[in-house]
Structure 1
Amino acid sequence: MVSFGELLCQYTQELAQRWYERWRREGPASPELTEAALKDHLPVQLRTIGQALRVAPASRQSPRELWRQHERLDPEQRVIDEVLIEEVVREYGFLVEEVRAWLQERGEQVSFDDYSYFYLAIFELTAESIRRYSKFRAEQVARERSEYVAGIAHQLRTPVSALHLGVEQLGRTRGEPEARVVERLRRTVGRLGRLVDGILRLERFKPEELPLHPETLAPAQLIEHIVADYAHDAHAKGLRLEVSAHPAVRMRADRDLLVDALGNLIQNAIKYTARGFVRVTLEEQADGVRFRVEDSGPGISPERQRELFRPVHPGMPGGVGLGLSIAFRAALAQGGALSLESEPGRGSTFLLSLPWSVPAREEPPAAPPEPQPGA
Structure 2
Amino acid sequence: MASFGELLCVHTDELVQRWYEQWRQEGPALPEMTEAAIKDHLPVQLRVIGDALREGRASESPRKLWEQHGRLDPEQRVRDAVPIEEVVREYAYVIEAVRGWLTERDEQISVQEYSFFSLAIFELAAESARRFSKYQAERVARERSEYVAGIAHQLRTPVSTLNLYVQQMERAQGALNSRAAERLRRTVGRLSRLVDGILRLERFKPDEIPVHPETVAPAQVIDQLVADYEHDASRKGLRLDIFVNRSARMQVDQDLLVDALGNLIQNAIKYTEKGFVRITLEEHEDEVVFKVEDSGPGISSERQRELFRPVLPGQPGGVGLGLSIAFRAALAQGGTLELESEPGQGSTFRLRLPRAVHARKGQSEGLVETSLEDDAPPAVH
Q: TM-score range by the shorter chain?
A: 0.5 to 0.7
* Paired letter, 1:244: F
Equivalent-residue separation in structure 1 for 2:223 and 2:328 (angstroms): 23
* Paired letter, 1:249: A
Q: After TM superposition, list the pairs within 5 Å mapping 1:262-341 onto structure 2.
A: 262-309=261-308, 312-313=309-310, 321-341=320-340
CA shift for structure 1 position 248: 1.2
* Paired letter, 1:273: T
8 Å Cα contact 2:233/2:239 also seen in 1: yes
CA shift for structure 1 position 232: 0.7
CA shift for structure 1 position 152: 7.5
CA shift for structure 1 position 176: 4.0
| Identity, % of aligned positions | 52
Equivalent-residue separation in structure 2 for 1:152 and 1:364 (angstroms): 19
8 Å Cα contact 2:243/2:279 also seen in 1: yes
Deviates more, 1:128-137 or 1:224-233: 128-137
CA shift for structure 1 position 291: 0.3
* Paired letter, 1:226: L
CA shift for structure 1 position 147: 10
Equivalent-residue separation in structure 2 for 1:356 and 1:203 (angstroms): 26
When residues 204 and 177 of structure 1 are mapped into structure 2, their CA distance, relative to the original with a 3 A threshold, is: same
Q: After TM superposition, list the pairs within 5 Å mapping 1:16-31 onto structure 2.
A: 23=63
TM-score (norm 2): 0.56
Map Cα deviations across residues 192-236 of structure 1 (whole Å, 9 max, x no partner): 111111111112222212222211111112101110001011111
Unaligned runs of 5+ in 1: 1-17, 28-44, 59-102, 367-375
Map Cα deviations across residues 245-284 of structure 1 (whole Å, 9 max, x no partner): 0111111111111111111111111111111111111111
After superposition, the CA RMSD in angstroms is 4.8
* Paired letter, 2:334: G
The SS at the match of 1:281 is strand
Map Cα deviations across residues 295-353 of structure 1 (whole Å, 9 max, x no partner): 111111112212224xx545688797111111111111111111101111111111001
**1:360 and 2:359 matched:** yes
When residues 348 and 364 of structure 1 are mapped into structure 2, their CA distance, relative to the original with a 3 A threshold, is: same
Equivalent-residue separation in structure 2 for 1:108 and 1:262 (angstroms): 60
* Paired letter, 1:290: V
Structure 1 counterpart of 2:228? 229
CA shift for structure 1 position 356: 1.0
When residues 357 and 23 of structure 1 are mapped into structure 2, their CA distance, relative to the original with a 3 A threshold, is: same
8 Å Cα contact 2:201/2:328 also seen in 1: yes
Equivalent-residue separation in structure 1 for 2:228 and 2:361 (angstroms): 30
Equivalent-residue separation in structure 2 for 1:315 and 1:20 (angstroms): 43
Deviates more, 1:335-344 or 1:315-324: 315-324
* Paired letter, 2:210: P
Equivalent-residue separation in structure 2 for 1:22 and 1:121 (angstroms): 9
CA shift for structure 1 position 363: 2.8
* Paired letter, 1:291: F
8 Å Cα contact 1:212/1:361 also seen in 2: yes
Structure 2 counterpart of 1:39? none
Map Cα deviations across residues 52-73 of structure 1 (whole Å, 9 max, x no partner): 96xx969xxxxxxxxxxxxxxx
TM-score (norm 1): 0.57
8 Å Cα contact 1:314/1:325 also seen in 2: yes
The SS at the match of 1:307 is coil
Map Cα deviations across residues 113-167 of structure 1 (whole Å, 9 max, x no partner): xx8xx69985995698479747964895499669968x989xx9xx98xx89x98
8 Å Cα contact 1:279/1:293 also seen in 2: yes
Unaligned runs of 5+ in 2: 1-57, 68-87, 102-108, 366-381
When residues 267 and 152 of structure 1 are mapped into structure 2, their CA distance, relative to the original with a 3 A threshold, is: farther
CA shift for structure 1 position 24: 9.1
* Paired letter, 2:321: L
Equivalent-residue separation in structure 2 for 1:21 and 1:57 (angstroms): 24
When residues 104 and 349 of structure 1 are mapped into structure 2, their CA distance, relative to the original with a 3 A threshold, is: same
Structure 2 counterpart of 1:74? none
* Paired letter, 2:228: D
Structure 1 counterpart of 2:194? 195
* Paired letter, 1:336: G
Equivalent-residue separation in structure 1 for 2:312 and 2:245 (angstroms): 37
When residues 136 and 210 of structure 1 are mapped into structure 2, their CA distance, relative to the original with a 3 A threshold, is: closer
Count of aligned pairs between the two proteins: 267
Equivalent-residue separation in structure 2 for 1:238 and 1:109 (angstroms): 71
